[in-house]
C-alpha cells in the first residue's frame, strides 16, 4: 500500500474501533458483594471492585424499572421470574444516596438502610474505599451518641440534637471537654453526621490511636430554625429520623433571606447554653469549635465571622471559604481564631463548583500569608459527597484543641 492508502486504512480502522468502543459497554467485573449498609440479611444492593452498584427487585407486573444514582438513571432487566437486575457505572469511593423507579414511582430500595438526604429518607450505599479503615467499626473504646430533646424558646417548639460524648465520659466524672458544633448540609438533618458521616466512629478510632484530643460533638438541625420554615410536629416521637427536622426547601430563592441568621440565634442563644448546662464542657472560646459541610459550612462562616468571641477553631467543608475581605470586615476574627480549616473534594475543584466568593485555596493561602493559622485540604478523587466530608472531619479533628 502507498502512503495515502495506508493512512486511509488506518483512519478507517480507527473509526471502526472508536465506533465499537462507543457502542459496546465495558465488561462488568463480576465480583459484586452486598453493600455494608444493607438491611440485615439482604443480598442486594451490591457493589463490585469497580465501584458499580447493582440492584435487584422483584416486580413481576412492572414494565420499566430503573436505578437512579448520581443523577443518572440505569434501566434494569427483567428475568423470567419477574426479578429486575442492573448496575450503574462506577461510582466514587464512599457513601451515595440513590433510589429506584418502578413504573414511574420513585421509591426506596427495600434492600438498603435509609438515610436522610435530598430532603427525604431514602436508600444509601457504601462503595468500599481504600482508606475506609478510619471510619470502620472496631473493637476500641467507643463513645456514645445521645439523642437530646430540648425546648427552644425562640422557635417555641421542642427541638432535637445528637451529641457525641467521647469514650470515658461516664468514667471520670470530674473531667471537662472541649466542644465542636458540627453542621449537616442542605436537605440533610441532625442524623447525617453520625449515620452517613460516621463522625462517632471517626472520633473513636482517632482517640484510640492517640491522634485526637477527646471532645464533645453537637449535631443539631441547621435547617428548620430558618425563618418561615414549617414546624416539626410535636407529636412526632423520639430516636427517629428527622421527626424534629424540616428538610423540604421552601419556594423562592435559595438560600432564603436570613437562612443563617435563624440558626445563628438558635445556636448562640439556646443550643450552646443548653449544652454547657447539661454536659461537662470547657465552656469558653478556646475550647469551642464550629464546622459544617456545604450549607453547614456557609452557616459556619456567617456565624463565626459574627461571633469570633465564641469560637476558636473553625472548619468549612465544601462550603466556600473565608476571603481576606470577610476577615477584614469581622472585628476580632483574625486575632481570636486559632485555626481555620477549609476543604473540598478534588472533583469539586475540577468542576469549579467551589466558587462561592472566590478561589478557596487562594483565599485560604492569603489568610495564611496574613498571619492566620490556616489549613487547606483536598479529598482525592471525590466530589460534593460524604467521603469528602468524612475525610475533612478526620483531618480537622486531629488539628483542633491541641
For a second copy, the binding residues in 37-76 under the rule CB under 8 A are 37, 39-41, 57-65
Q: Interaction with a second copy in 268-307: which residues (CB under 8 A)?
A: 278-279
Other C-beta atoms lying within 10 Å of the C-beta of residue 61: 7
Quick one: CA torsion of 53, 200, 117, 102, rounded to 10 degrees?
A: 40
Query: Which residue in the set 70, 85, 119, 155 belongs to the binding site for a second copy (CB under 8 A)?
Result: 119
Per CB under 8 A, 252 contacts a second copy: no
Contact call for residue 85 and a second copy (CB under 8 A): no
Residue pointed to by grid coordinates 467551589: 354
Q: What is the spatial distance between Cα 396 and Cα 47, in angstroms, rounded to a whole number?
A: 29
Could you please report the per-residue DSSP string of 57-89? Answer: EE-TT-S-EEEEETTEEEE-EE-TTSEEEEEPS
Site string for a second copy, 169-188 (x = CB under 8 A): -xx-x---------------
For the stretch 22-25, contacts whose Cβ atoms lie closer than 8 Å and that sit 24 or more positions apart, written own/partner, are none
Cβ nearer to a second copy, comparing 6 with 277 = 277
Which CB, 74 or 121, lies closer to a second copy? Answer: 121
**For residue 181, which of 150, 148, 217, 145 has the smallest C-alpha distance?**
217
Our finding on whether 118 is near a second copy (CB under 8 A) is no
Q: Does 129 bind a second copy (CB under 8 A)?
A: no
Residue 25 interacts with a second copy (CB under 8 A): yes or no:
no
- Give me the helices (H) in 196-315, please: 199-208, 259-266, 272-278, 295-306
Sign of the CA dihedral running 207, 211, 216, 217: negative
Q: How far is the CB of 34 from a second copy (least distance, A)?
A: 8
User: Strand 313-317 relative to strand 288-293: parallel, antiparallel, unpaired?
Assistant: parallel
Give whichever of 36 and 310 is closer to a second copy, judged by the CB atom.
Answer: 36
**Residue 70 CB neighbours (<10 A):** 14
Query: Which of 76, 113, 226, 260 is the binder for a second copy (CB under 8 A)?
Result: 113
Residue 325 touching a second copy (CB under 8 A): no
Q: Is 336 in the site for a second copy (CB under 8 A)?
A: no
Residues 239, 252, 352, 402: which binds a second copy (CB under 8 A)? 239
Q: Which of 7, 16, 19, 137 binds a second copy (CB under 8 A)?
A: 137
Amino acid at each position: 500500500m502507498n502512503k495515502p492508502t495506508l493512512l486511509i486504512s488506518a483512519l478507517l480502522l480507527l473509526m471502526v474501533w472508536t465506533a465499537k468502543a462507543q457502542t459496546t459497554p465495558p465488561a462488568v467485573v463480576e465480583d459484586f458483594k452486598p453493600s455494608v449498609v444493607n438491611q440485615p440479611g439482604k443480598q442486594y444492593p451490591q457493589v463490585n471492585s469497580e465501584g458499580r452498584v447493582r440492584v435487584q427487585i422483584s416486580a413481576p407486573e412492572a414494565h420499566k424499572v430503573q436505578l437512579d444514582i448520581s443523577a443518572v438513571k440505569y434501566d434494569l432487566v427483567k428475568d423470567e421470574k419477574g426479578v429486575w437486575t442492573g448496575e450503574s457505572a462506577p461510582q466514587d469511593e464512599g457513601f451515595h444516596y440513590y433510589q429506584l423507579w418502578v413504573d414511574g414511582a420513585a421509591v426506596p430500595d427495600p434492600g438498603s438502610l435509609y438515610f436522610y438526604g435530598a430532603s427525604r429518607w431514602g436508600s444509601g450505599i457504601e462503595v468500599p474505599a481504600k482508606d475506609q479503615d478510619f471510619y470502620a467499626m472496631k473493637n476500641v473504646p467507643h463513645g456514645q451518641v445521645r439523642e437530646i430533646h430540648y425546648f427552644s424558646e425562640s422557635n417555641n417548639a421542642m427541638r432535637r440534637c445528637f451529641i457525641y460524648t467521647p469514650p470515658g465520659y461516664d468514667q471520670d466524672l470530674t473531667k471537662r471537654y472541649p466542644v465542636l458544633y458540627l453542621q449537616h448540609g442542605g436537605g440533610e438533618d441532625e442524623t447525617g453526621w453520625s449515620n452517613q458521616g460516621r463522625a462517632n466512629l471517626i472520633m473513636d478510632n482517632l482517640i484510640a490511636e492517640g491522634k485526637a484530643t477527646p471532645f464533645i460533638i453537637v449535631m443539631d438541625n441547621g435547617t428548620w430554625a430558618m425563618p418561615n420554615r414549617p414546624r416539626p410536629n410535636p407529636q412526632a416521637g423520639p430516636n427517629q429520623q428527622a421527626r424534629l427536622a424540616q428538610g423540604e426547601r421552601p419556594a423562592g430563592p435559595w438560600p432564603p433571606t436570613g437562612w443563617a441568621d435563624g440558626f445563628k440565634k438558635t445556636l448562640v442563644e439556646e443550643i450552646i447554653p443548653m449544652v454547657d448546662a447539661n454536659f461537662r464542657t470547657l465552656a469558653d472560646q478556646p475550647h469551642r469549635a464550629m464546622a459544617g459541610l456545604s450549607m453547614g459550612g456557609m452557616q459556619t462562616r456567617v456565624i463565626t465571622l459574627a461571633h469570633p468571641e465564641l469560637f476558636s477553631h473553625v472548619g468549612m467543608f465544601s462550603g466556600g471559604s473565608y476571603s481576606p475581605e470577610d476577615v477584614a470586615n469581622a472585628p476580632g476574627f483574625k486575632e481570636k481564631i486559632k485555626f481555620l480549616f477549609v476543604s473540598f473534594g478534588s472533583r469539586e475543584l475540577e468542576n469549579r463548583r467551589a466558587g462561592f466568593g472566590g478561589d478557596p485555596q487562594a483565599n485560604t493561602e492569603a489568610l495564611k500569608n496574613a498571619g492566620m493559622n490556616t489549613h487547606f485540604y483536598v479529598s482525592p478523587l471525590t466530589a460534593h459527597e460524604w467521603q469528602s466530608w468524612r475525610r475533612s472531619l478526620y483531618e480537622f479533628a486531629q488539628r483542633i484543641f491541641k
